[in-house]
A and B are shown apart, each in its own frame.
Chain A
Amino acid sequence: MSVKTLDTAYQVTPSRWSRRNLTVPIGLIAAVAVLWLWVSSLNLDSIEARVLNAEAVRRAVVDHILLAVSATLLVVAIAVPLGIMLTRRWAKPLVPVVMALANIGQAVPALGLLVLLALWFGIGFKIALIALVVTAVLPVLRNTVVGIQQVDQSLVEAARGMGMRASRILRLVELPLAVPVMLAGLRTTIVIAVGVATVATFVNAGGLGDIIVAGIKLQRTPVLITGGVLTAVIALGLDWLGGLAERLLRPKGV
């Protein structure tokens, strides 16, 4: 068999870029455009006009993204090292304990947590951030642990047998092979963070929760819909970026 035929037989290079990748952002931009056209076409009363003025909406969107992204970065900074630690042999007994805690964090209603934190520590951006991190930490943590654990143990054994130290095995073998699973966890965390960031309004930390809550309280459907749609657009947009990262960072050959 010639090298050429072998090449075609085994060539498996998934394309990292395709036109399909752009469907989501184009759709999201279109959704925002339709929303804008619709709201502009309405005869807004004074209350609606006050809530939906361009500057207020822009602020809410920026705050919301800032909150969700900060929470996600904090989750990564905490959960990735913690997850790595939990896969070390000496930490085996800790795994169920930490996982139980993270599960509780996800199960506890974010709003209740937020109220408790507000009672103890007051209100503001930081408090909202803490509540978000607690609620959204599990997917990254779990997927870091699972991602490393699912690495074929014969690879780790081969690495050890060649004289690689644990730290080098982690860096060159375990982490690269865990990246796809870890990034899948990251995407879930992002979506949770964007969703839960809507309750930040209750501790005065801004975000699209301001608009949604105003819509409910004032019984103004256009306001409610604007807040809801924008939240969904941010969630889907950040998830799309996460998906992009997944494709770009996935190691070749896996």
Chain B
Amino acid sequence: MSEHGVRIQLDRVTKQYPRQPEPAVDNVSLDIPAGELVVFVGPSGCGKTTTMKMINRLIEPTSGEITIGGENVLALEPNELRTRIGYVIQQIGLFPHMTVRDNIAVVPRLLGWDKARITRRVDELLELVGLDPSAFRDRLPKQLSGGQQQRVGVARALAADPPVMLMDEPFGATDPITRDKLQNEFLRLQKELRKTIIFVTHDFDEAVKLGDRIAVLAEQSHVAQYDTPGRILAAPANDYVEGFVGSAAAIKQLGLMHVGMLTGLAELSATSGLPTVRSRENARDALDIMLRAGTSHVVVLDEQGDPRGVIGFEDIAGLLREEVSRVGQDA
């Protein structure tokens, strides 16, 4: 029903702004597999936005080649190219004088869809991002909370079912609780849609949480490391990446491991009084629950809420050791 992502390749891409001593993006090559969510993470001013905007040609590269699904973007008509790339920015950019419906309908109208099809699509997208169509369709942006606006922003970017999405710090301006919620919903959505997404952030924890892969960028968009979150946490390529990972790398790694991954759960005995954790939650949550309850063990519940077993500190430490050695072998 919806179109899955396609591969994006950047080949020795450089952007030199006029009257600047150095290129903002210098000779960057990246291969972004179809259907993956790749996060560009790096300090402010390192060239993340410039790199991203060259993909939909809001900024023209000075040199190098960019292909989407094998097609050279520089050979395409820019506006036509952009209707096939979803674009979400931090400021959201909903048009304040248009209803939610009209905002979402921008690209479908550009593509000449008929009214009935647009209506169906708008409602479908609102459902998809968790907003009741009958309640929200005719609202103006100012009648929405920040989180709701950002959802509409995502719906608008998805309107014509583009295979590729570019998202520039989309959740950067929201409060931590809303951001967490938006991130979770977004992950659920992406699991279903499998678009190729480039997601820019300066927040490494966000990168770890969302990314299938992370490109840690240094000055001029130089790729310091391009790998899965697990491998970046377990084996940072250099001091720069290590600095970015920050402290508590092991704890962050636990955030990537599901409790359900634990094999050989201890027998259920004397579980009364122990706290519980759901199997789809991560090892970091399990650890947190134990620390807060002041116990050394926690009961794992399956999806139905039935106890499956008990895990303790040693199991979690063992899991982490295994993961580190596994990543070490791969690398």
Contact indicator A163/B97 (Cβ below 8 Å) = no
Q: How far is the CA of A254 from the CA of B98 in the complex (A)?
A: 10
Closest to B143 in A: A10
Chain B count of residues within 8 A CB distance of the other chain: 32
A157 adjacent to B58 (CB under 8 Å): yes
Least Cβ–Cβ distance between B149 and chain A, in angstroms: 11
Can you list 9 A-B pairs with a CB-CB distance of less than 8 A? A3-B135, A155-B93, A155-B95, A158-B95, A161-B166, A162-B106, A164-B106, A173-B95, A253-B96
Known: A157-B89, A158-B92. 4 other contacts (CB 8 A): A11-B143, A154-B91, A173-B95, A253-B96
For residue A159, which residues in chain B have a CB less than 8 angstroms away from its CB? 93, 95, 106
B110 touches which one: A6, A12, A163 (CB < 8 A)? A163
Query: CB < 8 Å: which of B58, B78, B142 contacts A10?
Result: B142
Partner of B83, one of A6, A158, A163, A254: A163
Give the residues in chain B near A158, CB-CB below 8 Å: 87, 89, 91-95
Q: B residues within 8 A CB of A176? A: 97
Most buried by B among A163, A176, A252, A253: A163
Whether A157 lies near B143 (C-beta < 8 A) is no
With A157-B58, A253-B141 given, is the CB distance from A163 to B96 under 8 Å? no
Which one of B85, B98, B144 has the highest number of Cβ atoms from chain A below 10 Å of its Cβ?
B98
Residue of A nearest to B166 (CB): A161
Q: Please report the C-alpha to C-alpha distance between residue A157 and residue B87 in the assembled complex, in whole angstroms.
A: 10
Do residues B97 and A10 form an inter-chain contact, with CB atoms below 8 A?
Answer: no
Query: Measured between C-beta atoms, what is the minimum distance from B241 to chain A in Å?
Result: 30
Q: Of all chain A residues, which has the CB nearest B136?
A: A3
A165 within 8 A of B: yes
A59 to B191, CA, bound (A): 76
- Classify the secondary structure of A's interface with B: helix
Give chain A's interface residues, CB within 8 Å of chain B: 3, 6, 10-12, 152, 154-155, 157-165, 168, 172-173, 176-177, 251-254
- CB nearest to B103 among chain A residues: A158
Give the Cβ gap from A102 to chain B, nearest Cβ, in Å: 28
Partner of A165, one of B79, B94, B140: B79
Q: How far is the CA of A219 from the CA of B142 in the complex (A)?
A: 59
What residues of A have a CB within 8 angstroms of the CB of B140 in the complex? 252-253
Instruction: Give the complex CA separation of A92 and B215 in angstroms.
Output: 38
Of B107, B141, B142, which is within 8 A of A162 by CB?
B107
Most buried by A among B85, B93, B142: B93
User: What residues of chain B lie closer than 8 Å to A11, measured between beta carbons?
Assistant: 143
Contact A12 B142 (CB under 8 A): yes
**Total contacts A-B at CB 8 Å:** 79
Could you mark each residue 54-86 of chain B with 1 if its beta carbon is under 8 Å from any beta carbon of chain A, else 0? 001010000000000000000000111111010
Question: How distant is A147 from chain B, measured CB to nearest CB, in Å?
Answer: 13
* B132 proximal to A (CB < 8 A): yes
Interchain CB contact under 8 A, B132 and A3: yes
- Cα A252 to Cα B95 in complex, Å, equals 11
- Indicate whether A177 sits within 8 Å of B107 (C-beta atoms), given known contacts A162-B83, A164-B79: no
A252 & B97 in contact (Cβ 8 Å cutoff): yes
Q: Give complex CA distance A3, B142 in Å.
A: 15
Bound CA–CA A172/B107 (angstroms): 13
Residue with the highest number of chain A CB atoms closer than 10 Å, among B56, B97, B135? B97
> In the complex, what residue of chain B is closest to A158 when comparing beta carbons?
B93
Take A3-B135, A163-B110, A253-B140 as given contacts and tell me if A177 and B82 are in contact as well, using a CB distance cutoff of 8 Å.
no
Are B144 and A10 interface neighbours, CB within 8 A? yes
Q: Give the residues in chain A near B142, CB-CB below 8 Å.
A: 10, 12, 253
Q: Are A163 and B81 in contact (CB under 8 A)?
A: yes
Q: How far is the CA of A154 from the CA of B82 in the complex (A)?
A: 16
Q: Which residues of chain A are within 8 angstroms of B132 by Cβ–Cβ distance? A: 3
Q: Which 9 A-B pairs have the closest CB atoms?
A: A158-B93, A163-B82, A251-B97, A161-B87, A253-B140, A154-B91, A163-B83, A10-B143, A163-B79
Docked-complex contact B93 and A157, CB < 8 angstroms: yes
* Nearest B-chain residue to A251, judged by Cβ: B97
> Contact at B143–A163, with CB atoms within 8 Å?
no
Q: How far is the CB of B85 from chain A (nearest CB, A)?
A: 8
> Within the assembled complex, what's the spacing in Å between the Cα atoms of A102 and B195?
53
Closest-by-CB residue of A relative to B77 is A163
Q: Is the CB of B143 within 8 A of A12?
A: yes
> Complex: how many Å from CA A84 to CA B277?
61
Residues of B within 8 A of A12 (CB): 142-143
Contact partners of A154 in chain B: CB under 8 A: 89, 91-93
B87 and A162: CB pair below 8 A? Answer: yes
Docked complex Cα distance between A74 and B89 (Å): 41
Q: Name A164's contact: one of B94, B110, B135, B141 (CB within 8 Å).
A: B110
